[in-house]
Amino acid sequence: MTKEEIVEHLMKKVGYSSRRQFAEAIGIPPTTLNSMLTRGLGKASIDNVLKVCKGLGIT
């Protein structure tokens, strides 16, 4: 599994039914989350990666 696939899996496990729902819950635009998961987390800003981790309960 890629990092992006793991994030998608964890989003569903935590209870979010869509990328949009998760993005809105963590306070980033849905297009930003989509870009992060499509282009790779390594190209995302640290702030956005931290928001995703916090939203998934990852420390």
Local structure of 31: helix, strand or coil: helix
- In degrees, rounded to 5, the angle at the alpha carbon of residue 24 between the alpha carbons of residues 42 and 33 is 20
The verdict on pTM exceeding 0.85 is yes
pLDDT at position 10: 95
CB 26 within 8 A of CB 51: yes
Residue carrying structure tokens 């793991």: 6
Evaluate if residue 31 carries a pLDDT over 90: yes
In one-letter notation, the amino acid at residue 3 is K
Evaluate if residue 47 carries a pLDDT over 90: yes
CB atoms under 10 Å from CB of 50, counted, come to 13
